[in-house]
Amino acid sequence: MQERELNWKPDQAVELSVLGNGARTGPARIRELSGKCMRVAASLPAEIGAAVRLDFDGQMLLGEVLNTEPEGFWMEIHHMLLDTAGLTWQKQGCSAEPCPPKHNGCCGFPRSSWN
């Protein structure tokens, strides 16, 4: 069995989605990884407790903002999908119209499943 690990490098460019009411997307960079926590540099505002999604190099991370700093934030990783090739829902969002509140703005994963 092949061992799977998160593949990233310092200053890795990613697509950031801040999920929930008023969901928005924009560019960001991974600055640091420590255990299940990741430091992200981003110009998009994110509040403590916000659900966030990072997409890069065929990988997807879902997590929660732990604390903010002037250049971005620290997030705790709750879910990792290390090979998104072949997924049709990745960029389509939630298929429900309107998106149910439990989906946190069309991320496709109920927040209750993060624990």
Six-digit token pair at 102?
């439990």
Written as tens digits, the pLDDT of the chain (115 aa) is 445 678 888 899 999 999 988 889 999 999 999 999 999 999 998 999 999 999 998 889 999 999 999 999 999 999 888 776 655 444 444 444 445 455 554 544 444 444 3
- Say how far apart CA 50 and CA 43 lie, in whole Å: 15
Residue partners of 72: CB distance under 8 A and separation at least 6:
28, 31, 39, 40, 41, 42, 46
Task: Give the fold, CATH level 3, of 12-114.
Answer: Thrombin, subunit H (2.40.10)
* pTM > 0.85: no
